[in-house]
C-alpha cells in the first residue's frame, strides 16, 4: 500500500472531524454571544451601570475561589466516573478516566449534550470496548447527577424558609428519572415496548437491551448510595459558590435558598433542551432570584459570574483537554491495531 493511498483513505474521516469541530466551535460562539446579548439587554434596560458596579465588587481572590469550588466539583465527579468505569470492568487508570471525563466538557453545548458521547469513542480507541459496552457508563454518570441534584434540592427545600415555585415537582421528577435509568429490568421492558410500538430498528433496540443488562454492575445499593453522595458533594460545591457570590454582592439570601435556586435552575436548563442548558438555566436563575426579592442588578451580575465560573469554565477546561484526549486515543488505537 502506498503512502498516497493511505492518506486518501484517511482524508474523508479527517474532513468529517474537521467540519464537526468547526460546527461545534461555531455553536459555542453563537450560544455565548446570545447569552451575553440577552444579559446585556436586560442590564441596559434596567440600568447597566448598577450591574457593572456589582461585578466590579468582586476581587480576583474571590473570583479564584469560585473557580476553585468548580474544580472541586469536576474533580469529585471525575473520580466518580473512574469508579463507575472500574465497576463496569474497564481496565482504565485514574488519569486516563479524568482525561476522558474532562475532555468531554468541550462538547457540553451540543444539543442534548450528545457530543459528550465522544468519551465512548476515546474508550473504544484505547481499550477496544464497543460503544454498546461502555454506554452504561455514560448513562450512570447522568443518572447519578440527577439523583445527586434531586437529593440536594430536596434537602435545600426542607431547610429553606421560603417557597420556591416548582422546586418540589422538579426534585421528584429528577429522582424518578434517576431511578428509572438505573433499573435494568425496567429499561429492558421499556425497550421491548418501544420496539413493539415502533416495529422498526431491531438492531437499535437490541443494543439498548444489551446496554440495559450491563447496568446490573451498578445495581449494588452501596455503590449507588456512595456515588450519589459524592456527586451531591460535588454539585453542592458549585451551589455554595453561588451562595458566596450572592453574599459578596449584598443579597440577603440564605444558603438553603441559594442552593435550591442554583440546583433548580440547572435542572430546568437541562429540561429546556437548549445545548448545555444555555439560556434556560440563565433565565431561571434571574427569575428565581427576582422572586426572592433580589434586585435585578445583583441577579444579572450573579448569573453572569456564576455561569462563567461553572459552565464556561468547564467548557474551557474541556477545550484544553480535548485535543490531548484525541491525540492519546488515536495513538492507542494504532497500538491496538499493531497488536
| pLDDT at position 7 | 39
Q: Is residue 208 part of a domain?
A: no
Helix ranges (H only) for 47-130 are 48-56, 60-88, 94-103, 118-127
Q: Residue 5: pLDDT band by 50, 70, 90 thresholds?
A: very low
Q: Is residue 98 part of a domain?
A: yes
Segment of 35-44, 123-132, 159-168, 278-287 carrying the highest mean pLDDT = 123-132
Mean pLDDT of the chain: 82
- Tens of pLDDT, residues 184-227: 777 778 777 877 777 777 776 677 777 777 777 777 788 889 99
More confident residue, 206 or 242: 242
Q: Is residue 192 part of a domain?
A: no
| pLDDT at position 277 | 66
Q: Is residue 317 part of a domain?
A: yes
Tell whether the model's pLDDT for residue 181 goes beyond 50: yes
Domain region containing 137: 15-182+219-338
Q: Is residue 236 part of a domain?
A: yes
25-34 in b/e form (b: 16+ CB < 10 A) is: eebbeebeee
Please check whether residue 180 is in contact with residue 278, taking contact to mean a CB–CB distance below 8 angstroms.
Answer: no
Half-sphere exposure of 107 (CA within 13 A, CB side): 20
Q: Is residue 167 part of a domain?
A: yes
Q: Is residue 211 part of a domain?
A: no
| pLDDT at position 293 | 92
Tell whether the model's pLDDT for residue 176 goes beyond 70: yes
| pLDDT at position 21 | 57
State how many domains the chain has: 1
Distance (Å, whole) CA 321 – CA 333: 18
- Tens of pLDDT, residues 25-77: 555 555 556 555 555 555 554 555 666 777 788 899 999 999 999 999 999 99
Segment of 1-10, 64-73, 115-124, 174-183 carrying the highest mean pLDDT = 64-73
Q: Is residue 9 part of a domain?
A: no
Amino acid at each position: 500500500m502506498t503512502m498516497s493511498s493511505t492518506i486518501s483513505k484517511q482524508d474523508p474521516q479527517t474532513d468529517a472531524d474537521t467540519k464537526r469541530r468547526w460546527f461545534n466551535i461555531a455553536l459555542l460562539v453563537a450560544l455565548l454571544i446570545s447569552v451575553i446579548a440577552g444579559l446585556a439587554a436586560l442590564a441596559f434596560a434596567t440600568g447597566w451601570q448598577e450591574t457593572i458596579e456589582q461585578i466590579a465588587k468582586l476581587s480576583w481572590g474571590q473570583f479564584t475561589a469560585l473557580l476553585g469550588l468548580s474544580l472541586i466539583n469536576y474533580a469529585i465527579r471525575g473520580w466518580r466516573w473512574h469508579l463507575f468505569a472500574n465497576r463496569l470492568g474497564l481496565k482504565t487508570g485514574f488519569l486516563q478516566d479524568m482525561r476522558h471525563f474532562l475532555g468531554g466538557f468541550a462538547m457540553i453545548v451540543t444539543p442534548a449534550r450528545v457530543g459528550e458521547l465522544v468519551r465512548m469513542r476515546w474508550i473504544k480507541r484505547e481499550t477496544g470496548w464497543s460503544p454498546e459496552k461502555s454506554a452504561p457508563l455514560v448513562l450512570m454518570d447522568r443518572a447519578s447527577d440527577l439523583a445527586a441534584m434531586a437529593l440536594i434540592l430536596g434537602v435545600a427545600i426542607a431547610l429553606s424558609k421560603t417557597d420556591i415555585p416548582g422546586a418540589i415537582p422538579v426534585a421528584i421528577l429528577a429522582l424518578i428519572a434517576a431511578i428509572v435509568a438505573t433499573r435494568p429490568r425496567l429499561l429492558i421492558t421499556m425497550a421491548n415496548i418501544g420496539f413493539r410500538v415502533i416495529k422498526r430498528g431491531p438492531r437499535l433496540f437490541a443494543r439498548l437491551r444489551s446496554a440495559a443488562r450491563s447496568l446490573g454492575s451498578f445495581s449494588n445499593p452501596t455503590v449507588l448510595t456512595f456515588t450519589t453522595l459524592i456527586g451531591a458533594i460535588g454539585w453542592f460545591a458549585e451551589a455554595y459558590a453561588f451562595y458566596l457570590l450572592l453574599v459578596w454582592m449584598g443579597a440577603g439570601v440564605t444558603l438553603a435558598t441559594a442552593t435550591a435556586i442554583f440546583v433548580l435552575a440547572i435542572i430546568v436548563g437541562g429540561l429546556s433542551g437548549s445545548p448545555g442548558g444555555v439560556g434556560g438555566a440563565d433565565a431561571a436563575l434571574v427569575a428565581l432570584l427576582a422572586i426572592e426579592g433580589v434586585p435585578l442588578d445583583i441577579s444579572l451580575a450573579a448569573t453572569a459570574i456564576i455561569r462563567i465560573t461553572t459552565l464556561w469554565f468547564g467548557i474551557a477546561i474541556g477545550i484544553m483537554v480535548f485535543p490531548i484526549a484525541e491525540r492519546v486515543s488515536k495513538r492507542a488505537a494504532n497500538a491496538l491495531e499493531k497488536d
